[in-house]
Amino acid sequence: MNDVSASHRPRTAPALLQRRYLWVAVAVVLLLAVWGIISRLLTRNALAHEARQSAVLTVITTKPHRGPATDTLLLPGSVQAYYEAPIYARTSGYLKSWYTDIGATVKKGQLLAEIETPEVDQQLRQAEADLGTARANYELARTTNERWQGLLATQSVSQQDADQRAGDAAAKGAAQASAAANLARLREMEGFKRVVAPFDGVVTQRNTDVGALINAGQTPGSALFRVADTHRLRIYVQVPQAYAAQVHTGMQASLEFTDHPGQHYAAAVASTAHALDATARTLEVELQIDNGSGELLPGSYVQVTFALPPGPGNLRVPVNAVIFRGKSPEVATVDANQHVRLRDISEGRDFGTEVEVLAGIDANDTLILNPPDSIADGTPVRVQPLQPQAGTAPAAEHS
CATH classification of the domain holding 163: 1.10.287.470
Taking 50 as the threshold, does the pLDDT of residue 37 lie above it? yes
Half-sphere exposure of 330 (CA within 13 A, CB side): 17
- What does the pLDDT look like over 293-348, one tens digit per residue? 889 999 999 999 998 876 665 788 999 999 988 788 999 999 888 899 999 888 87
pLDDT at position 25: 81
Give a yes or no: residue 217 inside a domain: no
Tell me: do 297 and 243 sit in the same domain: yes
Round to whole Å and give the CA distance between 176 and 184.
12
Residue 129 falls inside a structural domain: yes
Residue 18 scores a pLDDT above 70: yes
pLDDT band at 389 (very low <50, low <70, confident <90, very high): very low
Judged against a pLDDT cut of 80, whether residue 13 lies above it is answered with no
One domain for residues 343 and 361: yes
Instruction: Name 62's bridge partners.
Output: 367
What one-character DSSP code corresponds to residue 17? H
Please give the average per-residue pLDDT across 82-103, as a whole number: 93
**Are 333 and 378 found together in one domain?**
yes
Output the DSSP codes for 317-348.
EEGGGEE-SSSS-EEEEE-TTSBEEEEE-EEE
Whether the CB-CB separation of 173 and 137 falls below 8 Å is answered with no
Answer whether residue 38 is part of any domain. yes
Q: How confident is the model at residue 379 (pLDDT cuts 50, 70, 90)?
A: confident
The residue segments making up the domain with residue 175 are 118-192
Q: Tell me the average pLDDT across 189-197.
A: 91
Q: Residues 241, 280: one domain?
A: yes
CA-to-CA distance for 348 and 322, rounded, in angstroms? Answer: 12
Which domain-ending residue is among 241, 273, 308?
308
How far is Cα 236 from Cα 301, in angstroms, rounded to an integer?
Answer: 10
273-300 pLDDT, tens digit each: 999 999 999 999 999 999 988 899 999 9
Judgement on whether residues 321 and 360 belong to the same structural domain of the protein: yes
Q: Which residue has the higher pLDDT, 350 or 183?
A: 183
Mean pLDDT of the chain: 85
Given pLDDT bands bounded at 50, 70 and 90, which one contains residue 83? very high
With a CB cutoff of 8 Å and minimum separation 6, the contacts of 156 are: none
Percentage of the chain modeled with pLDDT above 90: 45
Q: Is the pLDDT of residue 170 over 70?
A: yes
pLDDT (average), residues 189-198: 92
Q: Which pLDDT does position 54 carry in this prediction?
A: 59
Better-predicted residue by pLDDT, 8 or 354: 354
**Does residue 6 sit within a domain?**
yes
Based on the fold, state whether residues 134 and 183 are members of the same structural domain. yes
Short-list 61, 39, 4, CA closest to 334: 61
Question: Which pTM does this prediction carry?
Answer: 0.62
Domain containing 260 — which CATH number?
Answer: 2.40.30.170
CA dihedral 15, 16, 20, 22 (to 10 degrees): 20
Q: Using one digit for the tens of pLDDT, what is the confidence trace for 214-242?
A: 988 888 778 999 999 999 999 999 999 88
Q: Quote the pLDDT of residue 23.
A: 82
Q: Which of 149-158, 237-246, 369-378 has the lowest mean pLDDT?
A: 149-158
Q: Name 332's Cβ contacts closer than 8 Å, sequence gap at least 6.
A: 321, 323, 340, 341, 342, 367, 368, 371, 375
**Domain shared by 287 and 319, yes or no:** no
| pLDDT band of 388, cuts 50, 70, 90 | very low
Domain finish residue from 287, 308, 329:
308
Same domain, 235 and 278: yes
Residue, of 37 and 269, whose pLDDT is higher: 269
Positive/negative CA dihedral, 118, 121, 127, 132: negative
Return the pLDDT at 94. 93
Q: Judge residue 37's burial from the number of C-beta atoms within 10 Å of its C-beta, 0-12 exposed, 13-18 middle, 19 or more buried.
A: exposed
Rounded Cα distance, 383 and 335, in Å: 11
CATH number of residue 375's parent domain: 2.40.420.20
50 found inside a domain: no
- Paired with 255 in beta bridges are 265, 304
**Of 90 and 1, which is predicted with more confidence?**
90
How many structural domains does the chain have? 4
In one letter, which amino acid is 237?
Answer: V
Is residue 327 a part of any domain in this protein?
yes
- Strand ranges, E, within 277-339: 282-290, 301-308, 315-318, 322-323, 330-334
Length of the chain: 399
